[in-house]
Every structure is written in C-alpha cells, then in structure tokens.
Amino acid sequence: MNPKNVLPPITAYYVMKVGTLPLIPFFPPGSVDLAKAVKEMASDHHAVLLANHGPVVAGKTLADAVYATEELEETARLYLMLRGLDTTFLSPEQVAELKARFPG
C-alpha cells in the first residue's frame, strides 16, 4: 500500500472529486497529534484516510463533500471487488490530464 495514495485511480470521477487519498497514521481519538496530522494533509487533499478510524472528506460546499464521499466509497467498493483480477488503473498521464482539465 502506498501511504501517499492508498486508493488507486480507478475512475475519472474519483480523480476529479477526490484526487489522492493519503493515509494518516493511527493516533488516538481526540489526540493533538491527530489534529496536527489532519491539518497538515488537509490543505493539499480533498480527503484523507485516518488509520483505524476512516476517511475524512471536505469540499467547497457540503454538497461537494458529499459527492466526493460518494466517489470515494464507490471507488473503494470497486477496488475490493476487483482485487485479484487483472485491472487497469488510470495511468499517471491520464490522471494529470484529468487534473488539468478539471482543477479541484
């Protein structure tokens, strides 16, 4: 697993709505270290995955956050369903093109 992006780019919509999903190491709930780690990552990401807690997703509006959450959940579901199968993820070039065409 790549801690800088724990969920591969399976769909264009995931790339457009979420981008990358970094993993934040485990800290106990309410920990100052957890808050610092989230704050550090949140400025550059629409979502982060808190180890042994779950995802935190943000957006410009509540609706944007909901849409991003839906894409994250659907992509995670697809990823689990496709495990063990010969799956082609989006290439780095395709991801870059999507990010250029649809800046977040």
Domains of the chain, residue spans: 12-101
pLDDT of residue 41: 92
Catalytic one of 13, 14, 67, 79? 13
Whether the per-residue pLDDT at 104 is higher than 90: the answer is: no
CA-based R_g, the chain, Å: 14
Whether the per-residue pLDDT at 1 is higher than 90: the answer is: no
Confidence (pTM): 0.88
What are the tens digits of pLDDT across the range 32-46?
A: 999 999 999 988 999
- Catalytic residue check, 13: yes
CATH number listed for the domain at residues 12-101: 3.40.225.10
Amino acid making up residue 92: P
Smallest CA-to-CA distance from 87 within 99, 100, 75 is with: 75
